[in-house]
Amino acid sequence: MSKENYNAYKNAQAQFDSVAKKIGLDEAICDLLRQPLREYHFSIPVKMDDGTSKVFRGYRIQHNDARGPAKGGIRFHPDETVDTIRALSMWMTWKCAVVDIPLGGGKGGVVCDPRVLSEREQEQICRGYVRQLARNVGPIQDVPAPDVMTNAKHMLWMLDEYEAIHGAKYPGFITGKPVGMGGSLGRTEATGYGVIFVLREALKELAIDITKTTAAIQGFGNVAQYAAELYTKLGGKVIAVSCWDNNDKTAYTYKKLDGIDVDVLMSITDRFGCIDKDKARELGYEILPGDAWLEQDVDILIPAALENQITAENVNKISSQVKVIAEAANGPTTPDADKVLNERKVFVIPDFLANAGGVTCSYFEQVQCNMNYYWEKDEVMQKLDTKMTAAFKAVYDLAVNKEFNMRDAAYVISINRVAEAVKKRGWL
């Protein structure tokens, strides 16, 4: 597939345009919401460990902040593009709106590969990123968080740099921090668990017993690991996991028909979600091509990697047994593939609903930081379950009443909430 054909930003705009037309959204509001309010593009010069210097490209894009400060992760990826970040910032706006938290959408990224960078080099990128943005982000402006290939350590470096620049403590500036340093209990599990909370509710509505279901997952990073953990705790069986192999520079699918043991598989997985192929083989896993996860005879597919993974070219490889797709990744399904899935009546839980557990718990972390009072883990997880369940039910009820698919129903709720905020503020 070509990047031109599957441009994430164009896909995000196409999804928005389709729903805006259905609900008769005002033309001026359409023009405002189909593109970011503001963008920051900058360079981050870094002195490398070998004495050479290298310049990394960084971005922060704030799509809309009518409902509250912008919120969204920072990803480090060698193939990062500004259009991907634009799309992700837009999806963050809808994500915050669909779970009804008072935040807007933002996203950031640096074109780099942390897998080949030392800790010192990564720290310099983190601090350089904040130095470029210190006047344009903050707890009441724009609150970043971890994303692909960033983690709590990166967030703490960024917080430390921000506080050094501003000369005060601002723990609410960034979320996804280590527990004990302003982080929230439950944040590590939040996105993956949120996926399964809404999947659980979907299966109830579809009268499907979760204990009789099987699933295949793409990705085995943080989101996929905790989604697999909770899904198996609820009685489901994961039979296949696909992930990137950093040594071979390709993806593989690890299959075990009697079900994977999540704890065992995590024990042979590195911090980037790459499974040790030789150890997996010793444990009895069948090793298949990277895209084989999509073709398994399972009830549930959980794409939990990157955008544009289910496309017109591979959507027809999905087994007729598949009943539900829970989009744990951002933008994993292209609009043309979405049409095919709708025709086949596959129940798709859209990304900005399915994976909203992460931003919801980030919001909880921000609230706790600003109060300087932290909740116990059980309280965090209960609040997360309540929020995710309520969001799912609102979307599902609208989908049933208006005969929308779940993606359109989620968009209708989100777009209407953001458009209402725009109008009430008198922007248009």
Residues identified as active-site: 107
Q: Beta 324-326 vs 237-245: how paired, if at all?
A: unpaired
Name the burial class of residue 31, with classes exposed (0-12), middle (13-18) and buried (19+) by CB atoms within 10 angstroms of its CB.
exposed
DSSP-assigned letter for residue 296: S
Contact between 62 and 38 (Cβ < 8 Å): yes
First to last CA, the chain: 39
Residue 180 CA neighbour count, 13 Å, CB half: 1
Dihedral angle sign, alpha carbons of residues 406, 94, 156, 140: negative
Q: Nearest 5 degrees, angle CA 6-CA 87-CA 312?
A: 25
Q: Nearest 5 degrees, angle CA 80-CA 84-CA 89?
A: 120
Q: If you search the block for the tokens 């909430």, which residue do you land on? A: 417
Q: If you search the block for the tokens 């259905």, which residue do you land on? A: 22
